[in-house]
Amino acid sequence: MTADQLYHDPALAQFYDAENEWTEGLEYCRQLAASCASVLDLGCGTGLFAATLAQEGRCAVTGADPAAAMLDIARARSGGHLVRWLQADARALRLNERFDLIVLTGHAFQVFLTREDQAAVLRTIASHLRPNGRFIFDSRNPLVEEWKEWTPEQSQRTLTHPLLGAIEAWNDVSRDAASGVVSYDSYYRVQASGRLYSACSPIAFPAQERLAELLEEAGLIATSWLGGWDQRPCTADAPEIIVAGTLQGALTPAASTEG
Ligand SMILES: C[S@@+](CC[C@H](N)C(=O)[O-])C[C@H]1O[C@@H](n2cnc3c(N)ncnc32)[C@H](O)[C@@H]1O
């Protein structure tokens, strides 16, 4: 797994928050966290979710990400001082503690390209869940082929950076048919200076069946599969695959009827 410059290069990481605001997905996870004493945010990025949760003061929040540039932004944001930030790879992280809720938000699961890497992250989740703890993560539905829209023509947009002002942004994309890995290019041009920044990011689009197999192997069990944060069912034409679950053997009769 090579370090994606979109997250590791501070010059590119600085555009992340201009692109990504509070979403329906983060709100859903925030509500899941309402009854939790401890939350682990794997692939926490610039920390909007973790810091927002920590500021509410109901639970202890840990955010883990290997990209120092993302963590620097996370630490500096409002509420950032209330989170325990760890510069760590979610495949290898082993803390001697367990959590009530573990999340990977913003499609962070898709950065893991191989079956082996995906399995490793799920083993990390299984190793850090309390007996009745819950996990949740989202991954785009490969059947919908959303990447086909990530062309320069369809992705052209203007962002506002707090210091640099207007930024023209666009993407381009290619897909490796053999592996199913989609590589998307992100371009950011600062209007005032004309300076252009770019990165190429590979992401996987695992099928629901693959995710179900991996959960089983990791000792996890899904309690719900959603097709969107609006709680639509996880059907072939739904945009997302959102899986929530717990440790195998932890299900109470009430929990096992959910979803
Ligand atoms: C699409 S961003 C999502 C960030 C954040 N969760 C959000 O909702 O905005 C993906 C994040 O995964 C992180 N990442 C990449 N490789 C990782 C790894 N091996 N372990 C944990 N996180 C990783 C990246 O650094 C990046 O911050």
Do 87 and 123 fall within a single domain? yes
CA angle 59, 23, 143 (to 5 degrees): 115
pLDDT of residue 1: 83
**Are 135 and 151 in a shared domain?**
no
Q: Is 23 in the pocket of ligand 1 (CB under 6 A)?
A: no
Of 203, 222, 245, which closes a domain?
Answer: 203
Given the structure tokens 């309402």, which residue do they identify? 34
Indicate whether 244 belongs to any domain.
Answer: yes
Domain limits for position 130 = 15-143+206-256
Distance 67 CA to ligand 1 centre (A): 8
Q: Is residue 7 part of a domain?
A: no
Q: Are residues 74 and 154 in the same domain?
A: no
Mutate to test the pocket of ligand 1, among 29, 39, 110, 111 (most ligand atoms within 8 A of CB): 111
Tell me: do 94 and 84 sit in the same domain. yes
Position 254 scores a pLDDT of 54
CB of 106 closer than 6 angstroms to any ligand 1 atom: yes
Place of tokens 């371009």: 187
Judgement on whether residues 67 and 97 belong to the same structural domain of the protein: yes
Nearest ligand 1 atom to the CA of 47 is 5
For residue 156, give both structure tokens: 């052209």
Quote the pLDDT of residue 253: 57
Give the residue ranges of the chain where pLDDT is below 50.
255-259
**Any domain includes 1:** no
Assess if residue 74 is contained within a domain: yes
Write the CATH number for 76: 3.40.50.150
Same domain, 139 and 30: yes
- Residue 94 and residue 193 in one domain: no
Q: Give, using CA atoms, the residue closest to atom 27 of ligand 1.
A: 45
Tens-place pLDDT, residues 33-66: 999 999 999 999 999 999 999 999 999 999 999 9
Give, for ligand 1, the residue of 2, 4, 5, 7 to mutate: max count of ligand atoms closer than 8 Å to Cβ. Answer: 7
Tally of domains within the chain: 2
Residue 259's pLDDT is 39
Q: Is 5 a member of any domain? A: no
Phi, psi for residue 176 in degrees, rounded to 5? -90, 115
Same domain, 134 and 229: yes
Model's pTM, two decimal places? 0.96
Q: Which of 169, 186, 203 is the C-terminal boundary of a domain?
A: 203
Per-residue HEC secondary structure of the chain comes to CCCCHHHHCHHHHCCHHHHCCCCHHHHHHHHHHHHCCEEEEECCCCCHHHHHHHHHCCCEEEEEECCHHHHHHHHHCCCHHHCEEEECCCCCCCCCCCEEEEEECCCHHHHCCCHHHHHHHHHHHHHHEEEEEEEEEEEECHHHCHHHHCCHHHHCEEEEECCCEEEEEEEEEEECCCCCCEEEEEEEEECCCCCEEEEEEEECCCCHHHHHHHHHHHCEEEEEEECCCCCCECCCCCCEEEEEEEECCCCCHHHHCCC
Q: Is residue 23 part of a domain?
A: yes
Phi and psi torsions of 80, nearest 5°: -60, -30
- 44/54 same-domain check: yes
Question: Same domain for 219 and 196?
Answer: no
**Residue 105, ligand 1, Cβ within 6 A:** yes
In a domain, 192, yes or no: yes
14 Cα–ligand 1 center, Å: 14
pLDDT for residue 228? 98
Give dist(CA 41, CA 64) in Å, integer.
6
Residue 182: the pLDDT is 98
- For position 252, what pLDDT does the model report? 59
- Asked if 92 and 112 sit in the same domain, the reply is yes
Are 107 and 190 part of one and the same domain?
no
Residue 132 covered by a domain: yes
Minimum CA distance residue for ligand 1 atom 14: 43
Answer yes or no: is the C-beta of 204 below 6 A from any ligand 1 atom.
Answer: no
